[in-house]
Amino acid sequence: MNSLRIRILRSHLLVILLTMILFMGSVMLITPRVHDRLLRDEAASYRAGVASDGDEQLVKNDPHDGVKPFPESGITMMPAESNDLHHFENIYRNAVLLAIVISGALSTIVAIIVSITVARVIAQPIGRLITASRRIAGGNFQHFEIQSGTDEIQALAVQFNHMASALKDAEQRRAALIGDVAHELRTPLASIGGYAEGLIDGVVVSNEKTYAIIRDEAARMQRLVDDLQALSRAEAGTLTLYPARVDMHDLVGRAVALLDGKTSEAHVAVEVSHQHAEEPLSADADRIVQVVLNVLTNALRASAPHSVIKVATGRDANAVWCTVTDSGIGIDPAHLPHIFERFYRVDPSRARTTGGSGVGLTISRAICEAHGGTLTVHSDGLGTGATFTITLPRDSVD
């Protein structure tokens, strides 16, 4: 196990152990030497005092007149001094205190050095992560490589790389959005501008057909602006909902009716089936119709002429659901995790007339989640069609 908690605990225990060993060893080694030094100083002081009183000759000529209160020191002192046990205790106490001070200072210095070294080893990968985060803030989304570190640091590095990848994808989609919006606006603006100049110059005939073309192009720009505004509200979590008790049957019927003209034009049939006579839920009817319509529109774009889109509804004890299944082009497994991401298109080459703005499913999922439900998709691969499932909480009042 190489977790950060275990590593910090191990480093603390190492510092404590080293400090204790160094402290005890220093005390044991320093105390005798300090004690010996103090005794020698005391003996020298005593002899100096005796010599000043004229008794130095007695000390030199009487080797048996002194004792060795500490034999290991090799120092002989006069009986009057050796009998003063309290004096020797003070000397020994001073030696021990001085040894403790010296040992404590050495142990503290070593503990600080070891702690700084261990902390630097532990903090080094974090410092690299900080540097990498600054690099990402500057727009460089290169992955962070770490060769060593605790389990937590390794996991953090992995998540950091996932974040870098997500930011890189978001930045790429943002750049693609700018290009898409510019392209989507350029086309209708160019058309409107061209017809306006033609009308001014008298080149274009001023009739109902010309005005209808200008109106359609303006409506096309308005739809794009509405999509972007709805997306902004959905991502900010400021969607306004007006929930009421409704029936999923009615909501699906409204969405199918709104799409009837396009399905007839594309020669695609829509079959609707209901599991129960009533499938009540509490929801904003207009928003849920928008979700069903978005899902049906995506299914229609993916469907071939003379194919069938199947819509089914049902409920259980807690939820009401609606599935929309087509037999169209299907979705590659590599694209499934990104279907609900903003501005994501399975086929980037599709224009707005065939592929939408790329925000419809994102808005739809946000609406479902705002109701406490979900929007999911399943596909077995290319050429197998796809199934979108809308799940919403069931109305608590039956």
* Predicted pLDDT at 101: 76
Region 88-98: what's the mean pLDDT?
67
Same domain, 385 and 302: yes
Same domain, 362 and 330: yes
pLDDT band at 69 (very low <50, low <70, confident <90, very high): very low
Same domain, 285 and 266: yes
Region 36-42: what's the mean pLDDT?
67
Number of domains composing the chain = 3
Region 294-318: what's the mean pLDDT?
90
What CATH number did the domain enclosing 296 receive?
3.30.565.10
Same domain, 286 and 316: yes
In a domain, 158, yes or no: no
Tell me: pLDDT of 377 over 70: yes
Region 279-296: what's the mean pLDDT?
92
Same domain, 340 and 230: no
In a domain, 63, yes or no: yes
- Round the average pLDDT of the chain to a whole number and report it: 77
The pair of structure tokens assigned to 175 is: 């750049």
pLDDT band at 67 (very low <50, low <70, confident <90, very high): very low
Query: Residue 225 belongs to what domain range?
Result: 173-236
* Predicted pLDDT at 56: 47
Higher pLDDT, 351 or 324: 324
Same domain, 214 and 330: no
Higher pLDDT, 389 or 223: 389
Query: Are 260 and 293 a contacting pair, CB within 8 Å?
Result: no
pLDDT tens digits for 154-201?
Answer: 777 888 888 888 888 878 777 777 777 787 788 888 889 888 888 888
pLDDT band at 398 (very low <50, low <70, confident <90, very high): very low
Same domain, 230 and 257: no
Q: Which residues contact 73 (CB under 8 A, 6 or more apart)?
A: 35, 36, 39, 40
